[in-house]
Structure 1
Amino acid sequence: MIEIKVKTALSKSGLKELDYALNPYLGCRFSCVYCYARYFSPTEVKERWGEVVVVKSNLLEVLRREVAIKRKGVVGVSTITDPYQPIESERKLTRGSLKILLESGFRVSIQTKSPLVLRDLDLLLSHKEKVDVGLTITTANRDLSKTLEPLAPLPDARFSAVQKLKTRGIDTWIFLGPIIPGLNEDFRQVLERAKEMDVRVIYDVFNYYPGLPFPKVSSREIARIEEEVKRECDRIGATCHSEEEDWLYEKRRRFKPLF
């Protein structure tokens, strides 16, 4: 673990559906082999991916200053790390950030692979109208999950977290991605579980970054996989849309004022 002090907490997001990104940590202990985030991380984190985590020790202090002066908007927690990786149990930077953001009138969109998000149900329930939570589930296959995401919680634990959040009335979704051609195209079970729980699915095909242990995916292959996902969603009646389409969904959904 490395501790650093930061000058900013909220950064401009490159995703259309988000105004800001907040990443309490750099690096991630879940060690996902497909993760692009290593290429946006400091050298030591990149070279020892999954082993080293950087903690932004003064994050909450900086965030308190920023929420007082920044325009209200939607904050993604998180975009290049998992906000509920193991170190969060000890440091609680994600929980502290959520409290500051929600009490200051910001909306928050959480994405994680960890059931630890359930620890913060009290905050989520107190601000239901300003929060949504997504669990990334790349496959329902336990063994394949161990290969792709060696230290991440297993799929059943994530499905269980989705169900608990949904039952408590939290706007909950599943992120099915990245779908890697020839590897985790077994997405039907994920879609079926989503349908059973009545949660929407956002799907995304693998996006190549140099150095990742998978080949670049052609536009033709991307189109094929997306068509298969859409066809299966239509067949079973699941609510699904691509990551590219997600911002349109969110734009329609977020019609309430931010203040």
Structure 2
Amino acid sequence: MRYVSSKSILSKNNGMNLYRGCSHGCIYCDSRSEVYGMKHEFEDIEVKENALQLLKRELMKRPKSMIGTGAMTDPYIPLENRLKFVRKSLELIDRYGFGFTCITKSDLVLRDLDLLKKINSNTKAVVQMTLTTFDDELCAILEPNVCNTSRRIEVLNILKDEEIPTVVWLCPILPYINDTTENINSILDSCIGADVKGIICYGMGLTLRKGNREYFYGKLDKHFPGLKDRYIKEFKNSYSIPSPNSGELMSLFIKKTSQNGILNNPREIFEYLNEFPQKSRQTKLI
């Protein structure tokens, strides 16, 4: 862990990253890519030590909107257990009358259920959960240091019972690993059962570029001997790595989500995530 001082915490679109780097160990993580210019080891988490002061200052000046986190680093990494930067951010977001959404793979989000419910009662809180494989044993290989899929589905159902809306990221789908009809069907059935609002899927496949490609291939050598050579032969140095089953799986995805009233168009889902409800409340200027 390392502390840094930052000049700002919110992007122009109200996204924030309290941490940089991650310890979940997902073998496919795009955030490892060199294009993001990280100057330290990915697992050596960078903490923005003045993030909370910056957030308070920026929330006092900005118009009410949704605040999002998790696009680059899962906000609920184990370090959050100790530092509680996300929880303290939620307290500020609630205090100043903003909405909140996050992307995570962790059941640690349930620790903050009380604050999510408060925010959702006044504005809007949406939890986005990533699901890649229904098989918990495979999940332990693909995403080794975070709760398994079964637990994430439990979290989605708890959030449903607490009336917190949810969105699922169905990605990445790795060719010759989790790109099966059985896997996609099982994940979709779980999402239907949890009454998710939408499922984001940009196609059945993954992306690779310098930095995350080398890490991913190293893990293929360790866990799926021979598969790296197949990737290199079929996909060479392509950024986009589509599943050979993409057409069939996307047809299944579109059909099943449409039949069950689940949003499946990324543009419409992001419009929903970014929409700030006009609910009346008294902002607490404390």
Same fold, TM exceeding 0.5?
Answer: yes
1:197 CA drift (Å): 1.9
Q: Residue 210 of structure 2 aligns to which amino acid in structure 1?
A: P
1:170 CA drift (Å): 0.7
TM, length-normalised to structure 1: 0.85
The CA distance in 2 between the partners of 1:81 and 1:182, in whole Å, is 27
Alignment match, 2:270: 247
The CA distance in 2 between the partners of 1:220 and 1:136, in whole Å, is 19
User: RMSD of the alignment, in Å?
Assistant: 2.5
Higher deviation after alignment, 191-200 or 158-167? 191-200
Quick check: 2:258–2:264 contact (8 Å CA) kept in 1?
no
1:208 CA drift (Å): 3.2
Aligned residues: percent identity? 30
- Per-residue CA deviation, residues 150-171 of structure 1 (Å, 9 max, x unaligned), is 2111111111111111101111
Alignment match, 2:29: 35
Q: Residue 24 of structure 1 aligns to which amino acid in structure 2?
A: L
| Secondary structure of 2:52 counterpart | helix
Unaligned runs of 5+ in 1: 13-18
- Per-residue CA deviation, residues 123-175 of structure 1 (Å, 9 max, x unaligned), is 11112132111111111111221121121111111111111111011112222
Quick check: 2:19–2:48 contact (8 Å CA) kept in 1?
yes
Greater C-alpha Rg: 2
Higher relative contact order (CA 8 A, sep 6+): 2
Alignment match, 2:152: 158
Higher strand share: 1
Aligned residues, how many?
Answer: 247
- Per-residue CA deviation, residues 197-252 of structure 1 (Å, 9 max, x unaligned), is 221322233233334236443679696243332134346x361414344224446x
- Per-residue CA deviation, residues 3-24 of structure 1 (Å, 9 max, x unaligned), is 1111111113xxxxxx221111
Q: Residue 200 of structure 2 aligns to which amino acid in structure 1?
A: I
1:87-98 matches, cutoff 5 A: 87-98=79-90
**Would the alpha carbon gap of residues 54 and 183 (structure 1) be closer, same or farther in structure 2, given more than 3 Å must change?**
same
**Would the alpha carbon gap of residues 68 and 255 (structure 1) be closer, same or farther in structure 2, given more than 3 Å must change?**
closer
**Would the alpha carbon gap of residues 171 and 44 (structure 1) be closer, same or farther in structure 2, given more than 3 Å must change?**
same
TM, length-normalised to structure 2: 0.78
| Secondary structure of 2:55 counterpart | helix
- Per-residue CA deviation, residues 52-111 of structure 1 (Å, 9 max, x unaligned), is 111111110111111112233222112100111100000000111111123212221111
1:231 aligns with 2:258: no
**Would the alpha carbon gap of residues 178 and 125 (structure 1) be closer, same or farther in structure 2, given more than 3 Å must change?**
same
| Secondary structure of 2:240 counterpart | coil
Quick check: 1:138–1:179 contact (8 Å CA) kept in 2?
yes
Alignment match, 1:16: none
The CA distance in 2 between the partners of 1:151 and 1:221, in whole Å, is 29
The CA distance in 1 between the partners of 2:144 and 2:39, in whole Å, is 22
Unaligned runs of 5+ in 2: 217-230, 282-286
Quick check: 2:173–2:243 contact (8 Å CA) kept in 1?
no
**Would the alpha carbon gap of residues 258 and 8 (structure 1) be closer, same or farther in structure 2, given more than 3 Å must change?**
farther
Q: 2:131 aligns with which of 133, 137, 140?
A: 137
The CA distance in 2 between the partners of 1:180 and 1:240, in whole Å, is 23
